[in-house]
Structure 1
């Protein structure tokens, strides 16, 4: 695959999961960003990524004896993980100069190709104490803090790339609206190049042709909006404010609309999400590219060994995982038991709870927030107990953080934790603290069934079930996001409820009953049979879903549809 010039794509994201010991991510968006860059390196796509340093990370989650979440800073040793670059740039915030430096992390692909990740840092002595803190916390502070961060990411990011010599970038990819202010710096560049003082339609069209935008959520909280008085105070007076078709929406700066107005290509992250987004933003043409995960990152060591023996070259070409259909089911079961024991060992280390490797184990780990409905499984504990009377014991492993300001999400964690008291002896439930990359890999590979219960149509994509599929773990999920595409009933996993193709919420009670029905009438009987029928579903999860729902396929689609 040939590309026009070196480092053609600049990929901007507020969070990127680079490594477990670098806490510059909070959850799904950061995980996707990291997997995107890893696959870009594998495919030798000329890319440079830009984010913020987040010296104090997102947060480290603790859970007390009552099931209450508490947060601590996730401090880390920047100098031991990254290389400081000598270049310096500055941005104007509230009419004062904020100085920025950059640190570099290199992602190395399976063929040795390198994608640099540039992390911006305002922690410099020439800045005020408050300005030095602007690159400390991911998703911290109030609207003022967030807007100042987004100035650094978007405007500062473009300036830093230019200072580093990236003069021929063909495409600027905004991963969510947090980076949308990069469009303002590109417009300013046009003015400086032309020597004019007023933007023309030709300037706007040029910037429009340079940018692509990916939207990741239908949830309003995922679309940053700032009042124009705050925008004027932080950014100063700009002629672009008067260009209402570009900048202002109902008296506010809406970062999503700014990105859409100045992008040649816009996409959602699953087919259904593209449809939902098109309905939400009817005046724009919105395509879809379904998310994936980086296979080599998320496949457990036991399955890596199995794939290396049975499917040589699977790392270089993930589509080779189709050939998992020829792996004997007993070998898949054996590899899974190794992964399961590794998870249970970590459970014991974190909680002092000893779980049984021979007991059916359900896993759930997402950001703890209301629309993801983490506690749907616990809606009818009496019925859950009757299932164990009929089929024997079960184990449930939970994980996931609530945003520090999401009191409802914290209460859900508390409710899940407290439910242990009423579950009885046959149902063991643990809630693992501080869900992050390492724990995510252990959970998605080590449980027997991956559960996902979002309130449709609010699930844009979801990727945890894709990680599970790579490890032969079937999903039981609401038909939303990627699972509409990934679910072949009884073959790759199972659906909760029906897909009525309507963009409205389903009934919680109906969804819970469907969940219990599927466990009672399908999944438990299949799992407990002496035959290898359950292992056959595991094998199909790998060969059908693992081979397709990966970032290698995803990035190939971005290259064809969005980048070049």
Structure 2
């Protein structure tokens, strides 16, 4: 079977739309957790033999390459990746009329193969064609690039162009269009036009996952801009109501997706409660995120799992049997992963990290609510604790959005704190944090730190990846950790377990108290307890917080309505 039809499009039941897609290091079309989750989801569709197709943007210049100066100042450069060696062209094309002119859209496909050989096609949309003008050729070039006009046009290419290309490719039997965040919400207008305004039919087709309570995560556009860009597609008079337009009289893409979706979900139990307060007129479900075990378990740990739990790759629930694996084997695998991490850090950063020192990892987008600087609230107290209780070394990673000055300032602040503690604590900030370095860090750290401002953490999947590798979590009780934390078994908490909001000073005080009174004494003085917690983390959290469970929930609750 030649061309795209070899993927049997008429048998595909779900179309998964996402502006980011994090499949592998060689395809840098992601910025953070949203894209990595999308990649993990697609891999799991393939593992579970679920007939899906995914749609994203090509982004041939990637997100950006991050370089960091000595003071932590972030510099960005485009990432030109060889997409023609990674993807296969799709000859069929569609047009999307924006600003009164037709823009031609083509696709490239990446087959993602599951553990049993089943394939899910991922379509990357591309406007860099000679028939388009220079502005339009760049619409699919850079993830989250440009101004609001660029972003709106980009989202129209994703939602409208993606839906039209699927139709041309004979995806005639789709039962669900799953919008991974609001960037693809314009596909709902395409479906409303296709089905002649049948709102109930469109709602039966549409699934919407919202990922953040942060305002910046919900795209909004001026109504005049929307009319100028979208033209007849956006009927201001029929759509200008509270369900689509927010209190500032802006087109809100989250509102657009909510209004047209028959199934809506948040990505964690607490996030579900927060989202219900944000959007009280909608029925909000909660499906907690997960991670793809085959991707995130280190090769050293995977060898142990293969020997003692041979079915873990197809059935991650069996990781609960980690309790039966000799601790020496699991801890030995982690030791190898840690050595690999330390060797990498010392080779690239000449930082003199030690194999036997407690190694803490902190890596995520450099957004201010993540509070990357909480560890350094009182640097003298931190140094005193380390002097008394034992060595500590810390590895940071994460990018700030090019237009997020607050995030950039946060990185500079962390670098400033590094200088304050480096006489007692070895510290390093990995530049250009991406899939390869993430796999090293989540597998090789001893302790995974997460310090978001409650209740702003929707999920926090990096901690799930760490748990799969026996890395102990040390986190604010927000996001997934509210569900994964079991005192004395899976890790340590930071802050009040009952109050929804706490002050930075209060959380920092609890962090230092736990570090001094529990964590460092246990790591250096009670290895048996520490290793027991490592195993429990795999058995309790690794066996549950995975995308096999998550996708199965989507199939039952969202796709089979």
Q: TM-score, normalising length from structure 1?
A: 0.96
2:231 matched to which residue of 1?
A: 236
Question: Which one of 54, 58, 62 corresponds to residue 53 of structure 1?
Answer: 58
1:529 partnered with 2:534: no
| 1:37 Cα offset (Å) | 0.5
Alignment of 1:205-220 (within 5 A): 205-220=200-215
- CA contact 1:362–1:397 (8 Å) conserved in 2: yes
Misfit runs of 4+, over 6 Å = none
Alignment of 1:307-318 (within 5 A): 307-318=305-316
Aligned-partner SS, 1:249: coil
The one-character-per-residue Cα deviations of 1:423-447 (angstroms, maximum 9, x if unpaired) are 1433100000010001111001111
Aligned-partner SS, 2:142: coil
Question: Which one of 228, 248, 267 corresponds to residue 245 of structure 2?
Answer: 248
Provide the C-alpha distance between the structure 2 equivalents of 1:239 and 1:290, rounded to a whole number of angstroms: 36
Query: Mean Cα displacement is larger for which, 12-21 or 384-393?
Result: 384-393
1:66 matched to which residue of 2?
A: 71
Question: Which one of 488, 510, 514 corresponds to residue 514 of structure 1?
Answer: 510
| 1:240 Cα offset (Å) | 6.5
1:482 partnered with 2:477: no
1:301 partnered with 2:299: yes
| 1:539 Cα offset (Å) | 0.3
Aligned-partner SS, 2:195: helix
- Root-mean-square deviation (CA), in Å? 1.3
Query: Mean Cα displacement is larger for which, 379-388 or 236-245?
Result: 236-245
Question: Which one of 219, 235, 239 corresponds to residue 224 of structure 1?
Answer: 219
Provide the C-alpha distance between the structure 2 equivalents of 1:292 and 1:214, rounded to a whole number of angstroms: 14
| 1:167 Cα offset (Å) | 1.2
Aligned-partner SS, 1:303: helix
1:173 matched to which residue of 2?
A: 178
1:563 partnered with 2:559: yes
The one-character-per-residue Cα deviations of 1:54-85 (angstroms, maximum 9, x if unpaired) are 01000000111222111110110111000001
Provide the C-alpha distance between the structure 1 equivalents of 2:153 and 2:225, rounded to a whole number of angstroms: 10
Alignment of 1:436-515 (within 5 A): 436-500=434-498, 502=500, 505-515=501-511
Provide the C-alpha distance between the structure 2 equivalents of 1:517 and 1:247, rounded to a whole number of angstroms: 47
Provide the C-alpha distance between the structure 1 equivalents of 2:195 and 2:121, rounded to a whole number of angstroms: 26
Provide the C-alpha distance between the structure 2 equivalents of 1:539 and 1:114, rounded to a whole number of angstroms: 33
| 1:331 Cα offset (Å) | 1.7
| 1:246 Cα offset (Å) | 4.8
- CA contact 1:350–1:432 (8 Å) conserved in 2: no
1:147 partnered with 2:152: yes
Aligned-partner SS, 1:156: helix
- CA contact 1:365–1:398 (8 Å) conserved in 2: yes
- CA contact 1:246–1:262 (8 Å) conserved in 2: no
1:428 matched to which residue of 2?
A: 426
Provide the C-alpha distance between the structure 2 equivalents of 1:235 and 1:5, rounded to a whole number of angstroms: 30
| 1:530 Cα offset (Å) | 4.8
Provide the C-alpha distance between the structure 1 equivalents of 2:145 and 2:466, rounded to a whole number of angstroms: 30
CA, structure 1 residues 62+291, in 2 after alignment: closer, same or farther (shift >3 Å)?
Answer: same
Question: Which one of 125, 139, 151 corresponds to residue 120 of structure 1?
Answer: 125
| 1:248 Cα offset (Å) | 3.1
Provide the C-alpha distance between the structure 2 equivalents of 1:22 and 1:560, rounded to a whole number of angstroms: 31
Provide the C-alpha distance between the structure 1 equivalents of 2:452 and 2:406, rounded to a whole number of angstroms: 15
Question: Which one of 118, 139, 142 corresponds to residue 137 of structure 1?
Answer: 142
Gaps of 5+ in 1: 192-198
Alignment of 1:184-203 (within 5 A): 184-191=189-196, 199=197, 203=198
Question: Which one of 94, 98, 101 corresponds to residue 103 of structure 2?
Answer: 98
